[in-house]
Amino acid sequence: MEKNAVTKPDSSEIPSEQPASSSKNTCCIFALIALIILALFFIGAVISGIILWKTYGSALTGKLTNSIASTITNQVTDEIIPSTTPFTRRNSPTPTPIGSVPTPIDRLPPDGEQQVLSGSGQILPESNIRNITRADLVGLTPWELKVSRNEIYARHGRPFVHQDLACYFAKTSWYVKDPNYTDSRLSQLEQRNAVFILNYEKEIGSPVWGVDTGCR
């Protein structure tokens, strides 16, 4: 009896055992890794920005504020800052008047005008808590305008170079000279009021603005 012949299957007919989705899974893994790296980079950049702002941001803001305040103060307090050159009257542009233009006054204050006021001893005692207006300044003499502007600084103890101001405030009961004074003590309201009074002095052509009339 003839044995049955056993035939081996052709290897080309055997189906592949590798999963069809293997390459797709690999691509998804790489894409996920790339997204994670980008997310970590973004989070690191945000954290670095916050750290840099906390470290340097407040310091830069403070320097900018102090620089602006110093620039305004230097323009206002000519008679407070010492000068090594003789004083020369400066010609400034005439500002556009609002309402009636005050009559220019060409006289220096008489001896009695430097007498300290009674009561609080301040010409404009509210110049540190409200905006000064033209109505507050109209009727004041050039010397009173000069004193009222420098009252803003005197309240904080600023020493005065001009003898007329130094002697005047030394006679008041509220002025205390502070050798550690800095202009940063002035509020923005006080700085605006000092500039406003100065502009009014220039407008009327005050003869005592920037001039030391001496201690009387």
* pLDDT per position as a tens digit, 57-114: 656 556 655 655 555 555 555 455 444 434 444 444 444 444 444 434 334 444 444 4
**What pLDDT does 53 receive?**
67
Look up the pTM and report it. Answer: 0.51
- Assess if residue 18 is contained within a domain: no
- Assess if residue 193 is contained within a domain: yes
- Assess if residue 182 is contained within a domain: yes
- Assess if residue 191 is contained within a domain: yes
Domain that holds residue 127: 102-204
- Assess if residue 122 is contained within a domain: yes
147 versus 3: the higher-pLDDT residue is 147
Number of domains observed in the structure of the chain: 1
Distance CA(172)–CA(79), nearest Å, equals 19
**What pLDDT does 80 receive?**
52
**What pLDDT does 163 receive?**
93
- Assess if residue 79 is contained within a domain: no
**What pLDDT does 215 receive?**
86
Residues 25-49: pLDDT tens digits?
Answer: 777 787 888 888 888 878 888 887 7
Q: Say if residue 55 is exposed, middle or buried (CB neighbours under 10 Å; 0-12, 13-18, 19+).
A: exposed
Distance CA(124)–CA(145), nearest Å, equals 9
**What pLDDT does 58 receive?**
59
SS (H, E, C) 138-153: CCCCHHHHHHHHHHHH
Structure tokens at 28: 């998804």
Residues 123-159: pLDDT tens digits?
Answer: 999 999 999 999 999 999 999 999 999 999 999 999 9
- Assess if residue 190 is contained within a domain: yes
- Assess if residue 186 is contained within a domain: yes
The answer to whether the beta carbons of residues 212 and 162 sit under 8 Å apart is yes
Distance CA(147)–CA(209), nearest Å, equals 10
pLDDT band of 188, cuts 50, 70, 90 = very high
Residue 201: CB partners within 8 Å, gap ≥ 6? 142, 145, 146, 149, 209
